[in-house]
Amino acid sequence: MALTTTQRPARHSVRVPQGSGRGVRREGRAGYVFLSPWLLGFGAFTLLPMLGSLVLSFTDYDILSDFSELHFIGLDNYRRMFTADPAFWHSVTVTVLFGIISVPLKLAAAFAVALLLNRGMRGVGFFRGLFYLPSLLGGSVALGFVWYSMFNRDGSFNQLLGLFGVHGPGWVNDPDWALGTLILLAVWQFGAPMVIFLAGLKQVPVELYEAASVDGAGAWRKFWSVTMPMMSPVIFFNLVLETIHGFQGFTGAFVISGGTGGPVDSTLMYTLYLYVKAFTDYEMGYASALAWVFLAAIGLLTVVLFSTGRFWVHYSDGGDE
Amino acid sequence: MSGTPRRRLLAVAAAAALLVPLAACGDDAGSSPSADSTEPVELSFFWWGGDARAKLTEDALKLYTAKHPNVTFKTTWQANQGYFDKLATLTAGNAAPDIFQIDDNYLTEYASRNVTLDLSSYQKSGKLDTSKFPESLWKYGEVDGKLAGVAFGENTQGLVFNKTKLQAANQPLPTSGMSWEQFITWAQAAGAATKTAGTQDPSADYKAFWVWLRQQGKDLYKGKELGFTAQDVTAWFDLWKGARDKGATPPPDVIREGNATDITKQLVVTGKALTSWVWVNQLPELQKNTKDELGVVSYPGDPKAQWARASMYFSVYRGSSKKDVAVDVINFLANDPEAGKVLGTDRGLPSNLDVRTTVESAVTDKAMKTSIDVENQLGKTFGPSPQVPLKGHSTLRSELIKAAESVQTGKASSAQAAEAFITAVKTAISK
Amino acid sequence: MGRMTGLAKRSLRLVVILALLAIILYPLAWLLGSSFKSQEEVLSNASVWPEHWTPGNYPQGWTHFKSAAVTFGRFFLNSTLVALLVVVGNAASCLLAAYAFARLRFRGRRMFFAIMIGTLLLPGHVLIVPQFILFKQLGLVGGEFPYLPLVVPHFLATEAFFVFLMVQFMRSIPRELDEAAKIDGCSPFGVFRNVILPLSRPALVTTAIFSFIWTWNDFFRQLVYVSETTKNTVPVALRAFIDSSGQVTVGPMFAMSVLSLVPVFLFFLAFQRMLVEGINTSGLKG
């Protein structure tokens, strides 16, 4: 990434030599002080439940039985998943398909709309609110009704297609199309990354654009040499979080399929399968194993994303050593 | 069961990681206040339903408190979605309510894991009086010889049809006792005449499949095994494939809409089919959601295959410290005429036949009257109850939906789907 | 000429915005329309327009909970209380943690950061039971204020999403500012107060918006921990309209769903204004 200094004045950061032992120690102490709420919260509320679920993944825990009836079954849950459970592999396929299509589409929609709404214009705040409205609905009970009525056989979407002489199928109820409506739902609720992009755009120092104008850069050039590098930490954040969120994608599938993953398992997202195992089939031990395999897989993906980040994410703080 | 010392040690380690005191499940130990003591007792009580049910239940509990001023209630209610998730979570934390509502989907899951109190001894001593219940009804609360729940309300399968549309097209109404073939032929003709699909395809519906199986001399479960074979499932799927080919049903995606158990999605309410396969006591709620007049008959085939199903039960938590009082409260709700009048038919026809007679005479709602009449008429021919579904029943239900939908959408043949269904269900019930 | 292009550009942008809105808001228009349909119509009429306008759904939904003699207003208050507490907790605690991760050097920083990201990855459903047991052992379940399990963890930066978000924003703040402050004699605490805190407004606003909205919509945890009808929150109360096997009250549920969008929408509008007012220049010239 060869960028000229005019476009990246922040890169000039003066590094104060960090040799002074007292300063480092003071900063270290301050680090723990600032981190203490997180350390306490993690230790008290996150670590134990996580370890609990890890331990349970080696058992036949079924939620309802007393803990004294717990049996340790070693790696059986993990073995079963990879060797004897076709539904597991099916849910992996569904999830990967959903993730790789919905995440880029959602991010693209969010970024495009954020750019559209970044400029000052009358009522821009209200417009932002309107674009956010679908996300405000969350996984509300009304959403299930809404999506059903849009995308069933007599739904609004087919009425629209009808105007062009197209006979649409019963989208949400058709095993070939249901996942598509799920992806559409995910993209439709692009509000969260949009807001993060907007906040990021607000943080790009206007001086950089002024400097670029002085250098005679046009809008396109400014976008690529100022906006994109300055936005890269925020783009990176959205990419990582939406990837995690996309692969977890539970709510939409739950709402659309009534918690079953139907029709014919076409919307059986991984986390939905996990939920069914845990709370419908009472196989919490197995569900815990599913969760830890998920953590490992998405963890790996996150590590890959982080390692690509060093090639394209530009930090004004001079980078992390 | 504590197993080897090493296993026990591991269980302790797991419990420690979860901060759980082991063996907290208060066994049938005896410091529990008796039903006629006067020390203050607060019972927790959890059920699912709508606000109307909540109002009735609260009122009935007030009657109990009026008679026993030392007993008060901490009630919790919610809609059915998420109910069992919460109940399971509470149970895991040794915090299940003293009394909770449950249905035959989950009764065995809870009973076989010793979450529910065995009520047999209370029944024997008369502290829990089921003498006025139809025998087959209270027996439908027995799991492995233990009385795990008190049947609270009776219902049975009902085929609900759209009277208005049928009459407008001069079509005969369906009747109880039609054979399945007659019914399909009727649906085909009625569908053609009304321009609305004749019937929802019930091949994904476990209760229709169950009735049909009983008419073939089979059953859903037999002991700890399935009571049917892959051939039965194939024949069932083929029966409905025939109906679909004749155009007696809507297309697969519309069938799928109606495969949800929700009242809001039943095709007879959304106007996409002339009949839906439901429980008789759902008729009044269905009627509220459509302008057309609805009627109800038994499922096709011999109505003897239908039975007095407990629409739900009340169970007592085995870890409760107030078991005696809890049982007394259930006894009161089931048998007290005043409480019966308050509760009405909201949870199904009252289990106590004396209470039922009183309640029925007071009903004014037309749809409710119809559902009571049909239930009573079918009640005369009810066969014996089947056993309560095994553990894994909810898997059976969802697997049947999946298998039937894969046949409907042409993703699998009847035989392939039946085979996959049997395999999945066998695993689920043997776990 | 230049003016003309400017005007043309602006109009074009407005047209694009309105066209997009027309598409993505259609489902919500359907929701609004359906909240005025009668019970006999709401399930069978798929169009946006009600045949028989039934504004009665609104008062009916508002006073639906007769068993506990509370109006829907109570649930709005409960939800608002919980959501505001979560907003405060998240904003304060996550900012502290983020500062440590983004700006301070201390042993174990990278490891802790990796662990923090790791907590985002585990599907939440397997944590429900262990967490419930934990909160119960800590004595936080039930009682007069049943919201403690929903609120307390947020005061201890357990929402890694926001910590990570703030880290990313802080890393866009030029480090010269810190260094300048240090040269002026600021300790790490002074840098936090004088440099990071004022420049973190976009991140804080974003955190506030999401904390509020996500808490407002969170169903499952609120369902598990809140048991009394009078203590119910909005999402739990909305589901109570639809007991899908028994009593279903769709129209009033739609009506209350529409109403429940209003507070979050207003919250969003109020807070997003802070994303409009530029912080850039004031910050950089400081």
pLDDT in tens, B143-170: 999 999 999 999 999 999 999 999 999 9
Q: Name the minimum distance, in Å, from the CA of C52 to any CA of chain B.
A: 12
- Cα A148 to Cα A170, B82, B127, distances in angstroms: 10, 20, 49
Counting every residue written for chain A, the total comes to 321
Question: With contact defined as beta carbons under 8 Å apart, do A269 and A250 qualify?
Answer: yes
The whole-number pLDDT of residue A187 equals: 96
The whole-number pLDDT of residue C253 equals: 96
B270 and chain C in contact, CB less than 8 A:
yes
Disruptive mutation site among B44, B78, B287 for chain C (greatest number of C CBs within 10 Å): B78
Question: With contact defined as beta carbons under 8 Å apart, do A5 and A208 qualify?
Answer: no
Which has the minimum average pLDDT: A22-31, B344-353, C155-164, C263-272? A22-31
Contact B18 A173 (CB under 8 A): no
Contact B79 C66 (CB under 8 A): no
Q: How far apart are the first and last CA of chain B?
A: 17
Helix or strand (DSSP H, E) at A83: helix A76-83
The whole-number pLDDT of residue A49 equals: 94
Is residue A271 pLDDT above 80, yes or no?
Answer: yes
Contact C268 A315 (CB under 8 A): no
Nearest one of C219, A250, A182, A257 to B265, comparing CA atoms: A257
Is residue B23 pLDDT above 90, yes or no?
Answer: no
* Range from A140-154, B2-16, B332-346, C166-180 that averages highest in pLDDT: B332-346
The whole-number pLDDT of residue A11 equals: 37
Strand partners, B225: B222
Q: Which of A153, A259, A283 sits opposite B253 (nearest CB)?
A: A153
Using a CB-CB cut-off of 8 Å, the residues of chain C touching B58 are 67
Q: What is the 3-state secondary structure (H, E, C) of A130-159?
A: HHHHHHHCCCCHHHHHHHHHHHCCCCHHHH
Contact B110 A63 (CB under 8 A): no
The whole-number pLDDT of residue C174 equals: 84
Contact B253 A258 (CB under 8 A): no
The whole-number pLDDT of residue A15 equals: 43
CB burial of A33-54 (b: ≥16 within 10 Å; e: otherwise) equals ebbbbbbebbeebbebbbebbb
Contact B113 A70 (CB under 8 A): no
Sequence-distant (6+) residues with CB within 8 A of B353 are B132, B133, B134
Contact C170 A317 (CB under 8 A): yes
Angstrom distance (rounded) from CA B280 to CA B155: 6
Contact A264 B395 (CB under 8 A): no
Average pLDDT over chain A, rounded to an integer: 88
Q: Name the minimum distance, in Å, from the CA of C69 to any CA of chain A.
A: 23
The whole-number pLDDT of residue C57 equals: 96
Is residue B302 pLDDT above 50, yes or no?
Answer: yes
The whole-number pLDDT of residue C223 equals: 95
Contact A34 C99 (CB under 8 A): yes
Q: Name the minimum distance, in Å, from the CA of B256 to any CA of chain A.
A: 6
Using a CB-CB cut-off of 8 Å, the residues of chain C touching A142 are 31, 238, 253-254, 257
Nearest one of A111, A262, A97 to A200, comparing CA atoms: A111
Angstrom distance (rounded) from CA C154 to CA A163: 50
Contact A67 B11 (CB under 8 A): yes
**Nearest-CA residue of chain C relative to B266?**
C43
**Nearest-CA residue of chain B relative to C247?**
B50
Tell me the pLDDT tens digit for each residue of A45-77: 999 999 999 999 999 999 999 988 899 999 999
The whole-number pLDDT of residue C6 equals: 78
- Cα B338 to Cα B333, B360, B426, distances in angstroms: 9, 14, 46
| ipTM exceeding cut-off 0.90 for this assembly | yes
Task: Show which of residues 186-245 on chain C sit within 8 Å of chain B, judged by CB atoms.
Answer: 219-220, 223-224, 227-229, 236, 239-245
Tell me the pLDDT tens digit for each residue of B239-297: 999 999 999 999 999 999 999 989 989 999 999 999 999 999 999 999 999 999 999 99
Contact A188 C26 (CB under 8 A): no
The whole-number pLDDT of residue C282 equals: 39
**Nearest-CA residue of chain B relative to C131?**
B18
Residue B62, Cβ neighbours under 10 Å: how many? 13
**Nearest-CA residue of chain A relative to C21?**
A131
Q: Which of C27, C93, C214 sits opposite A146 (nearest CB)?
A: C27
Contact B51 C133 (CB under 8 A): no
Contact A265 B411 (CB under 8 A): no
Contact A129 C265 (CB under 8 A): yes
Can you say whether the dihedral through the CA atoms of A196, A198, A201, A206 is positive or negative?
Answer: negative
Which has the minimum average pLDDT: A194-198, B110-114, B365-369? B365-369
Nearest one of B83, B75, B82, B39 to B59, comparing CA atoms: B75
Residue C155 identity: F
Sequence-distant (6+) residues with CB within 8 A of B110 are A64, B91, B102, B116, B148, B315
Contact A129 C179 (CB under 8 A): no
Using a CB-CB cut-off of 8 Å, the residues of chain C touching B48 are 243
Chains linked to C by 3 or more Cβ pairs within 8 Å: A, B
Chains linked to B by 3 or more Cβ pairs within 8 Å: A, C
Task: Show which of residues 199-258 on chain A sit within 8 Å of chain B, judged by CB atoms.
Answer: 258
Contact B51 C141 (CB under 8 A): no
Using a CB-CB cut-off of 8 Å, the residues of chain C touching A316 are 171-175
Question: With contact defined as beta carbons under 8 Å apart, do A275 and C126 qualify?
Answer: no
The whole-number pLDDT of residue A27 equals: 84
- Cα B242 to Cα B201, B245, B255, B415, distances in angstroms: 11, 5, 15, 14
Q: Which of C152, C210, C257 sits opposite A140 (nearest CB)?
A: C257
Contact B79 C42 (CB under 8 A): no
Contact B269 C229 (CB under 8 A): no
Using a CB-CB cut-off of 8 Å, the residues of chain C touching A312 are none
Using a CB-CB cut-off of 8 Å, the residues of chain B touching C246 are 49-50, 53, 80, 263, 282, 285, 346
Using a CB-CB cut-off of 8 Å, the residues of chain B touching C219 are 82
Task: Show which of residues 36-75 on chain B sit within 8 Å of chain C, judged by CB atoms.
Answer: 46, 48-55, 57-58, 74
Using a CB-CB cut-off of 8 Å, the residues of chain A touching C260 are 140
Contact A16 C182 (CB under 8 A): yes
For β-strands B225-226 and B221-222, DSSP reports them as: antiparallel
Per DSSP, the residues of chain C read -HHHHHHHHHHHHHHHHHHHHHHHTHHHHHHHHHTTS-HHHHTT--SSS-SS--TTHHHHHHT--TTTT--HHHHHHHHHHHHHHHHHHHHHHHHHHHHHHHH---TTHHHHHHHHHHTTTS-GGGTHHHHHHHHHHTT-SSSS-TTHHHHGGGGGT--HHHHHHHHHHHTTS-HHHHHHHHHTT--HHHHIIIIIHHHTHHHHHHHHHHHHHHHHH--HHHHHH--SGGG--HHHHHHTTB-TTS-B-HHHHHHHHHHHHHHHHHHHHHHHHHHHS--HHHHHH-
Is residue A222 pLDDT above 60, yes or no?
Answer: yes
The whole-number pLDDT of residue A68 equals: 87
C129 and chain B in contact, CB less than 8 A:
yes
Chains linked to A by 3 or more Cβ pairs within 8 Å: B, C
Using a CB-CB cut-off of 8 Å, the residues of chain A touching C105 are 18, 24, 27-28, 31
Q: Which of C31, C163, C172 sits opposite A146 (nearest CB)?
A: C31
Tell me the pLDDT tens digit for each residue of A3-13: 333 333 333 34
Disruptive mutation site among C121, C132, C195 for chain A (greatest number of A CBs within 10 Å): C121
User: Could you give the angle at the alpha carbon of A192 between the alpha carbons of A190 and A194, nearest 5°?
Assistant: 70
Q: Which residues of chain C have pLDDT under 50?
A: 1-2, 278-286
Is residue B389 pLDDT above 90, yes or no?
Answer: yes
Contact A174 B402 (CB under 8 A): no
